[in-house]
Amino acid sequence: MSHPAAPTNLNKLKYFQFDKVINEDPLTHSLTLLGTFPSPDEVQDRVTAIVRVEKTALDAGTAEHLFAADGLVRRVALEESTDIYTWLFGWLGEERERDIKINIVCPATEVHIRKFTRQNIVMVRETPDLYGSIVKPYITAFPKSRTQWVENILLGLSEQDKILFSSPDFVILPDMKWDLKTISSLYLVALVQDRGIRSLRDLRKQHIPLLKAIRSEGERVVEEKWALGKGAVRMYIHYQPSYYHFHVHIVNANQVGMVGMAVGQAHLLDNVISLLEIESENGPATFERIVLTYGLGDQHGLFEAMQAASA
């Protein structure tokens, strides 16, 4: 039997008196509210209550009807379209907050299909020898068309209205995965102008000023624009990255559980800088000689060759 003050229908729920938001979780798309409901007795006027509101998961059974004439999505608004990528926001009804973010890859190649397909992850140990014989040739052969959208940004051909910081060395702008609204899920990316840095393996002691500048400007941007103080964001570098043009992820430090933050894939910018600072001036570079262990999906282009090499 429920408590007499607990709301059991919409009419009773409307009597909720909001006090404040005590938690918001972008991963589960939920808000946790603190407030009160009317008391059923005369001892107290209001009863303290916590209300957690969570968006329900989309039903796979409705997939073919999402964009039909009588489908679930009633309205969309274009956010950005560059090269093969398009982002829209969608509404499942009128007079309401936007419900969904729609990311489109068109035309999509077999590589894209593999990337977005659910994968079984296997941990691999990439030695310098394996990097030289398998990974580096793979990166070198990576089609330039896959990073054309990055070139469009760096050359000033797209997304210029979103640029938060620009210098001859790098730009900072919102990542395509962010909804541009929810601060708790803030997600920016720094794209470097140096095309010679393809991945973490290419970093050398000479790149320390660049990395420190990214860290400094990233902190400044989030503080000036969103009042997020020092330590409010987590900056990291992916290995393997999803595209081979060097970039740094800048996300709200309160985000947890994101796939891209997995141990082995995400390397904190501070740690990378520290490793480069103790690097010898004349000897082999740190990221040239260490073993990197990371998770590799069975749909990744490197998977078969790395598996065979590890057998």
Catalytic residues: 247
3-state secondary structure 101-144: EEEEECCCCHHHHHHHCCCCEEEEEECHHHHHHHHHHHHHCCCH
Report CA torsion sign: 279, 283, 285, 290. Answer: negative
> Shortest CA distance to 293 belongs to which of 261, 256, 269, 267?
267
Q: How far apart are CA 23 and CA 2, in angstroms?
A: 25
92 neighbors 72 (Cβ within 8 angstroms): yes
121 neighbors 297 (Cβ within 8 angstroms): yes
Residue type, 164: L
Q: Say if residue 206 is preceded by a cis peptide, omega within 30 of 0.
A: no
> Shortest CA distance to 234 belongs to which of 270, 183, 199, 200?
270
Q: How far apart are CA 100 and CA 91, in angstroms?
A: 7
User: Which H helix or E strand runs over 53?
Assistant: strand 46-54
291 neighbors 125 (Cβ within 8 angstroms): yes
